[in-house]
Every structure is written in C-alpha cells, then in structure tokens.
Structure 1
Amino acid sequence: MSSHPPIPTRVVLLTGPSGSGKSSFAARSGLPVLCLDDFYKEAGDPTLPLVPGSSDIDWDSPASWDADVAVAAIVALCEKGRTNIPVYDISTSSRVGAETLDIERTPLFLAEGIFAADIVERCRDLGVLADALCLRGRPSTTFRRRLLRDLREGRKSVPFLLRRGWRLMRAERSIVARQVGLGAYACGRDEALGRVAAAAAGRVRTRT
C-alpha cells in the first residue's frame, strides 16, 4: 500500500458578470461543479436588498445570497467529498428541494457563481482554495448572452430582465474590477482553462 497521504480536495472559485459564460465553462472543464446560485435567499426574506431608487430586488447584490451556507458546502466537499445542497428555482426565487452532491474525493472541483469572489478570502483562510478566476469579455456580448439565456429560461419578467440587463452592461467593468479586488484573477476562457489545468496538476495558486 502507498504511504503517501491522500491528496486534499480544493476548489477553484469561478466568477464573472452574469452572462459571462461561467456555466458553459464549468461544463467544459470536466470537473465536478457546485452551482453557487443555489444559495440565493428566497423571496420574502426581509434581508433582501433593493435596487436604489427602485422596488426591484437587487439579485446582483451579495446581500441577496447566503455566503455562510455556501462556504460550509465547499468545506464539506473538500473534507468529506459530499454535501447536501438546496435546489433553487430562479424564476420563483425559492428553494424547491434539496439534493446530495457527491464528488467522490476528486482532488479539484469548481464552484461557480456571480458571488464567488466574495468568498475568496474565506476559502483561502480555510486552506481549501486552489485558484479564483473571473471570466471577462465584451459588455455588449455579455448583455446579449445574458438576455437570451434569461428569456429562454423565463427567469424573471421581460421588463425586469431589460432593466437589469441595461444596468449590468453599464456596470460591467466596475463589476469585474470589484471581483478582482476581492482576489479573483480576470481572464478569458482559454487562459482560465489553462489555470484550471494547472490547479488539477497540483500547481495550486492560493494567491493571484
């Protein structure tokens, strides 16, 4: 029997503006994926923030998301290889069930979502961070991709999606800057794939 200790499981946090291609990138990576969108708070939660000057809930604010539960799920996956996660329906803004995510002691997995950068420091301090990436592209391309996806999936009403899309397109560069400031490395898809491959090979990047 080998005397080598087991390879610890670590996470690559994948963030970027809504519509930047995180989900398709995660699927292409071939790694197990934890979808951080499943940790949104539910409609009716009194702590949900509003868009300034509007009655719209600001689903792009980290305050609309439960970071503590998300971090706990990441730590459980790193330590045990499995955890129970909520199933969230974005169209109704509610948790509609739960399921078990089992990564079978895989040494690396992805956790993707627009708030992933908000937990970079916590994951680093906990010793579970392999890398933190922020996908970036052209704001106009992101706008089109996001709107087509949200319309196709019926995520919210059309007026809401248009208001949100326009607001996010204007704010995209500042969104990326904020995520970089929180510890994510901004890059395109090809460079991100290279960094994931490096992390999978054991060349862990705990700082960018």
Structure 2
Amino acid sequence: YKIIKRLLKYLLFSSLGCFPVWWVTESGVITVQSALYGRADRETCSEGKPAQQLSNINCYQLGTLDVFKRRCDGKRQCEVNTTTVRKSDPCFGIFKYLDTTYACHPAHSVACEDSYANLHCGQVIFVSSANYGRRDRTTCSTGQPASQVETVTLYLFLTHSCDGKSSCSVKVRGSLFGDPCFGTYKYLEVTYTCQSKFSKAPSDCW
C-alpha cells in the first residue's frame, strides 16, 4: 500500500476559519496512521520565525489523531476543516503545524466457512463486493485436506445486509449463500468502504 505524508502550516495570530485538509486516494481507502497538531521539532515550518516561537517541541493537541480517524478511515476521499482540529491552543505563542500520515489500501474482511465475517467502521458500512467460494489454494487452508482446497472457483455474492450499519457480523455458511463448489472448503471475502450517514456540501464547516 502507499503511504502519503501531508504537512500544513498554521498561521499563529490569524483566524483560519474553514481552511480544509483535503485527501483523495487514487485507489483503495484511507487509513490514518498519525496526526500531530502542534510542534515536535524546531526545524519544521521554521523559516522566518523567531526562536521563541519554535522553543516548545513538546506541543501537541490531544485528540487530533482520533478526529482524523473518525473523519477519514475507510473513505476514498476526506475533508477535515481546521476548526475541527483547533479546539484549543495547546501551546500559546508557539508557531504550530499539522503533520499527518495516512496509508491507502482496500478495506476488506476474509472469513472462513462456518465462522463470522465481522465488518467495522467509524461511521457506516457500504459493501462494494462480496465473494463466496475459493479463488486460491492458500486462503483458509489450514487443517484442510488437499482435496478441499484444490477447486478454485468463485461465486459473486452481493449483499446489502450490512449497508448503513456501523458494524456487521455475518455467519459464513452454505445455507445462506448456496454452494457454488460442493466438496470445496470455502470462504467469504468482502470489500467495503466507510461513509458518513449524512453528506455535507464542500463549503460547509464541520
């Protein structure tokens, strides 16, 4: 998967209003790995700044990572306004910045036959695809005889039973999906995204 780093400067004495942090992935979904609003060193965003505005390198806003994960995890695109992050001033008089890192990869769940597929989102689930059957000889193969993992077939199973929920658990069994390849040990593979219950216009402030 691809890891992307974003660095934004924050003006110390001006009101930023609804300045957006905007992420878009070319493929896959976003998983936020780190987010810092404050200052962790004296070099970042330091050009032209007096030493006293760079002196506190243990400055950070609590909860910044949680804000970005709630807004962005599992989405293909994400916008967070600075008013959401800037709830207070973690270190008055210090020139601050927002430093974030996120990865782009598919959100998916694989569950072996007779187990549960558990889907979780910070917001709500929308299933992109769900495949029941077998397309390789390695997935869910532990403890299974060779004869039960040899047939490589795939049955496309599209479901909306999890759509709109923040979490969803589905028992993987043939009586629910049918049996596309009798005698083969099967599994369910689900690809999904996480979206807001309500959409907002790009100009709205969060």
TM-score by length of 1: 0.25
Q: Which has the larger radius of gyration?
A: 2
TM-score by length of 2: 0.25
Instruction: Give 1 or 2: higher strand fraction.
Output: 2
| Structure with the larger RCO, 1 or 2 (CA within 8 Å, 6+ apart) | 1
